[in-house]
Amino acid sequence: SQQGEEDPQALSIQEGENATMNCSYKTSINNLQWYRQNSGRGLVHLILIRSNEREKHSGRLRVTLDTSKKSSSLLITASRAADTASYFCATPPSSNTGKLIFGQGTTLQVKP
């Protein structure tokens, strides 16, 4: 069961530009999380946004959540070459579980 789906699948930008990735999901959620994965490594948690929150910031990251549209977006401002990675959203398959289901991810390339 693919709960979250990211869009676009791949994104290539120049250093200094902003990068926006989107995530859509199917069922009601308690929260939605974003993760980052550098090539060949484990995932690292970036940010968690609860269902009663609309926007959250962490450094150069801005996450929005629209529960009416069942969608979220991750914005990385002033991107750097070091931001090159894959980004995943993760949601529970239903609202009363600790399970985390990941989407297919967006691969971001930031060119210096």
Partner 1 sequence: DVKVTQSSRYLVKRTGEKVFLECVQDMDHENMFWYRQDPGLGLRLIYFSYDVKMKEKGDIPEGYSVSREKKERFSLILESASTNQTSMYLCASSLRSAGGPTEAFFGQGTRLTVV
- Which two three-digit tokens encode residue 94? 């239903």
- For 69, the 3-state DSSP assignment is coil
Judged by CB under 8 A, the chain residues 19 through 38 that form the site for partner 1 are: 29-31, 33, 35
* Residue owning tokens 């401002």: 77
Min dist. Cβ of residue 15 to partner 1 (A): 26
What is the token pair recorded at 107? 């691969």
Does residue 95 interact with partner 1 by CB under 8 A? Answer: yes
Q: Is 59 in the site for partner 1 (CB under 8 A)?
A: no
Q: What CA–CA distance (Å, rounded) separates 23 from 99?
A: 18
CA–CA dist 110, 69 (Å, integer): 29
Segment lying near partner 1 (by CB under 8 A), choices 42-50, 53-61, 66-74, 77-85? 42-50
Task: Give me the residues that bind partner 1 (CB under 8 A), please.
Answer: 1, 29-31, 33, 35, 40-45, 48, 50, 88, 90, 92, 95-105
